[in-house]
Amino acid sequence: MMLLAAALTHAHVPIFLLSVALMLGLARLFGEVAKKLRQPAVLGEILAGILLGPTVLGEVAPLWFNQLFPTDSPVEAGLSALTGLSVIFFLLVAGMEVDLSMAWKSGRTSLIVSLMGIFIPFASGFVLAFAFPGFMRVPFGVDPTIFALFFGTALCITALPVISKILLDLNLFRTDIGVIIVAAAIVNDLVGWLLFAVVSTLMGVDGKDSSSIGKAIAGTLIFVGVMLTVGRVCLHRLLPWLQANTSRTSGVMGFAMVGALLCAALTEWIGIHAIFGSFIFGVVLGDSRHLKEKIRTSFEQFISSVFAPLFFASIGLKVNFLQHFDPVLVVVVLAVATVGKVVGCGYGAVLGGLPRRAALAVGFGMNARGAMEIILGMLALQAGVIGEDLFVALVLMALITSMMGGACIQKLLVRKRELDFSELLSAGMFKLRLSGHSRDEVIAELSALVAARIRIPAEQIAGSVLERESVVPTGIGNRVAVPHTRLPGIRKSCVVVGMSENGVDFDAPDGEAARIIFLVITPERDTGAHLQILAAIAKAANEPTVAEELSHATNYSEVVSALRNIEELH
């Protein structure tokens, strides 16, 4: 008759709430930091768990650790229920990102890449694990064949979300090579998870005879078959109805979550893991062209900001990462995984006709394993198929391959990252109240702010800006002006922002004095950056809501917050 009830009594409630708050809070925080550093959020989220878990908090303050995350208590049951739901919803979204139509249409090259990228890593993983069970720490009593099957599967996983993110960042998503990588990753994902489903029926093998394994495999195939045909048609029909008759986003979201839970319950009952059902449901749901982009985006945002951090933080809670860190094992796993994937996919790409450099880029892209690998490792650990040492090695391999992916592609294809406007700004290059009253005074003030940073005398900057100003005035209307110049000898673009209470005349077409002045300085040779920055500011100034927010801004954060609206307008 209790709310946090029966098992969760009054004494447990504050602890449960505090644990959830700490997990979510730290994981979100570190996830954001990781993103700022252009790394996958999962890196930060797992780190948060490691800090809160036995590795750090458990060593530093074991009493606190045992208070916060008690074992054998209803608090643990509550947390495990919550993280269990979280991973189910995470896989739902991961499935939604799989674009089936892209897989069907994927050309010969991506097919070869994905098949080679499955076969070679799987084979090398299987052989390694089968040949050296001792080194790989096969737990006592585990059938070496099953262990080797699992390890092979683990090496052939790729992380579609990480790969998509890398390609988007490098502005490669819509290019030929981007399409090849994504299509290959999709096929790889589907085959990989099917393999996993089969292996997972074998993993919980203890009490099972071969007939129950056969039943589970048959059940899996029937489930996948039905979902991809009947389920697909039904969902395709149902979605417009839902979007027409319920509260839109929340109606579809509720439906998606319920569907994922039902499929998860079904697959768990069949004997394969719950997340497989949720993943397949996501694939089928995401495949319908009726699913509106807006709904898809806001749904993904929720899951990745609430459920994903909770789940990944919980991973760090389970294992002592320092105690089970075996450097040799980590290096071997990382090496075999990377070599297998890069050689497999790269060779596939060469066979498919790509030049060698591009083929290598494909290999390193497909090598990113991200969250998927970690989830797979977690399940194997739970099932007792692998030991904690190998689990730690798999997690590190997943993180390192993901971090490598972007850097390698960038290097190999000599790509520039897409310009992120808010990165150009900094609190030190912002002046809330400009004292100057004329154009020349204001430009001198702003030039002085940036002079030290770019190591060019303020007078020289101001002079160059004014020269440009004399050719074309830079007031762009809506009280915004963008004096600018291109300077030799600097390496990075920068933007200095100043606000003037009374306004300064920059000869704008609408005749209004400028209240917000962006001084834009770019390297002489980088014409692209120059135009991009000016266009972004002009776009912001033209958007009424942004202009409104800008004119009310009273500190640096508010200016940045207003400008970030531009990114959403894309």
- Which residues inside 96-155 make contact with its own copies, applying CB under 8 A? none
Q: Which of 139, 222, 241, 569 binds its own copies (CB under 8 A)?
A: 241
Q: Is residue 6 within the footprint of its own copies (CB under 8 A)?
A: yes
Site for its own copies in 535-564 (CB under 8 A): 555, 557-558, 560-561, 564
- Within a 13 Å sphere around the CA of 344, how many CA atoms are in the beta-carbon half? 29
Minimum separation from the CB atom of position 464 to its own copies (A): 30
Question: Nearest-CA neighbor of 44 among 457, 399, 514?
Answer: 399
Which residues, 6+ apart, have CB-to-CB distance to 49 below 8 Å? 23, 27, 312, 313, 314, 315, 316, 317
Minimum separation from the CB atom of position 34 to its own copies (A): 11
Q: Is residue 243 within the footprint of its own copies (CB under 8 A)?
A: yes
For residue 307, what are its two tokens?
Answer: 């459920």
d(CA 492, CA 452): 14
d(CA 415, CA 553): 36
Q: Which of 116, 197, 274, 393 binds its own copies (CB under 8 A)?
A: 274
Which residues, 6+ apart, have CB-to-CB distance to 136 below 8 Å? 128, 129, 147, 151, 329, 390
Q: Is residue 347 within the footprint of its own copies (CB under 8 A)?
A: no
Minimum separation from the CB atom of position 478 to its own copies (A): 20
Q: Is residue 321 within the footprint of its own copies (CB under 8 A)?
A: no
d(CA 198, CA 185): 20
Site for its own copies in 401-440 (CB under 8 A): 422
Which residues, 6+ apart, have CB-to-CB distance to 536 below 8 Å? 419, 421, 566
- Closer by beta carbon to its own copies, 69 or else 122: 69
Binding mask 30-59 for its own copies (x = CB under 8 A): --x--xx-----------------------
Minimum separation from the CB atom of position 514 to its own copies (A): 22
Q: Which of 175, 288, 298, 551 binds its own copies (CB under 8 A)?
A: 298
d(CA 19, CA 29): 15
Binding mask 363-382 for its own copies (x = CB under 8 A): ---------------xx-xx
Q: Contact, 468 vs 507, CB < 8 A?
A: no
Q: Which of 66, 101, 301, 438 binds its own copies (CB under 8 A)?
A: 301
Q: Per CB under 8 A, which region of 212-220, 296-304, 338-346, 524-532 contacts its own copies?
A: 296-304
Q: Is residue 325 within the footprint of its own copies (CB under 8 A)?
A: no
Site for its own copies in 436-495 (CB under 8 A): none
- Closer by beta carbon to its own copies, 527 or else 557: 557
Minimum separation from the CB atom of position 408 to its own copies (A): 25
Q: Which of 178, 309, 363, 475 binds its own copies (CB under 8 A)?
A: 309
Minimum separation from the CB atom of position 456 to its own copies (A): 28
Minimum separation from the CB atom of position 145 to its own copies (A): 22
Q: Contact, 324 vs 315, CB < 8 A?
A: no
Q: Which of 37, 230, 234, 262 binds its own copies (CB under 8 A)?
A: 262
Q: Contact, 521 vs 450, CB < 8 A?
A: yes
Which string of b and e fits 527-544 if b means at least 16 CB within 10 Å? Answer: eebbebbbebbeebbebe
Binding mask 167-186 for its own copies (x = CB under 8 A): --------------------
d(CA 327, CA 339): 18
Other C-beta atoms within 10 Å of 264: how many?
Answer: 26
Site for its own copies in 69-98 (CB under 8 A): 71-72, 74, 76-85, 87-88
- Closer by beta carbon to its own copies, 175 or else 551: 551
**Angle, to 10 degrees, between the axis of helix 176-203 and the axis of helix 210-226?**
150
- Closer by beta carbon to its own copies, 14 or else 489: 14
Q: Is residue 10 within the footprint of its own copies (CB under 8 A)?
A: yes
Q: Per CB under 8 A, which region of 151-159, 260-268, 365-373, 445-453 contacts its own copies?
A: 260-268
Count of positions on this chain that bind its own copies (CB under 8 A): 84
- Closer by beta carbon to its own copies, 6 or else 471: 6
Which segments within 38-125 are labelled E, that is strand?
none
Query: Cα angle at 315 between 376 and 333, to 5 degrees?
Result: 50
Q: Is residue 240 within the footprint of its own copies (CB under 8 A)?
A: yes
Residues in the chain: 570
Q: How would you classify residue 414: left for phi > 0, otherwise alpha for psi between -120 and 50, otherwise beta?
A: left
